[in-house]
Amino acid sequence: MMILSLHIMYLEITDLAQTGFMIVPGFGMGQILILGVSMLVSFLVSHMLKRRFQEYSQIPIRVTGAEVAEMMLKQNGITDVRVISVPGQLTDHYNPANKTVNLSEYVYGMNTVAAAAVAAHECGHALQHQQAYVWLGIRSKIVPAVQLSSTMLNWLMMLSLLGMGLMHNTTMLWVWVALFGVTTLFAIVTLPVEFDASNRALKWLEGSGLAASMEHEKAKNALFWAAMTYFVAAIGSIAQFAYFLMQALGRRE
């Protein structure tokens, strides 16, 4: 069972995708095929992302991730956002509730291309918040609904495992479709938010001169593969939502 993790207000899209990576008893080979293809593509993209970041973690630059974040915020006139270190790996996120750029211990203290790219990306979210970026606002507003939907999806999955399968109850199937639709909407709305944050990060890195020392193409490549994980998650979620919807519509015939 997958329970979505909530970083204060923002759900990580990887966890969201994993909620979709569940085989619901009774749905058959169609869902298994969609699930298999989605997981394979997700694995390949994640493998490439990990490979690139391992490579770029070996390339030193003159400043740490924390210093990159502080420089980017300052040069964009943002003085009310703090940069802090948080434990764990892949825990980097921007928290609009208390206006903090939270960097994992590695990103915060290391002076590598990978750390700089991650730090700049998270500051991209801070810029979005400052400038009231419309897609960020929409994503914030639907977070409570996504949190509720993910919890209810887990309960429905438990009922299915206990024999009260969705395929035996049309009402439950439509409830599943509606709840899964909410998480799919979140995955779609997240795409412009994440790609825009990466674009803002690259633009600032270029303007600050850091991209030159980072080797511009490496910085761009790191941000691209990070954003692609969100794209793959969204495609997988859309594919499964379409499958569930067709199953529900088929009940009406």
Residues with catalytic roles: 122
Which residue, among 227, 239, 228, has the nearest Cα to 184 in the 3D structure?
239
Burial of 89-125, coded b for 16+ CB within 10 Å and e otherwise, reads: eebbbbbbeeebbbbbebbbebbbbbbbbbbbbbbbb
DSSP 3: -
Ranges of H-type helices in the chain: 13-20, 29-56, 65-75, 105-109, 113-130, 134-161, 170-208, 210-214, 216-250
Which residues lie across from 104 on neighbouring strands? Answer: 86
**Cβ within 8 Å of residue 242, ≥6 positions away:** none
**Cβ within 8 Å of residue 54, ≥6 positions away:** none
- Do 185 and 148 form a contact (C-beta atoms < 8 A)? no
Phi, psi of 3 (to 5 degrees): -115, 125
- Do 234 and 191 form a contact (C-beta atoms < 8 A)? yes
Give the separation between CA 143 and CA 155, rounded to whole angstroms.
19
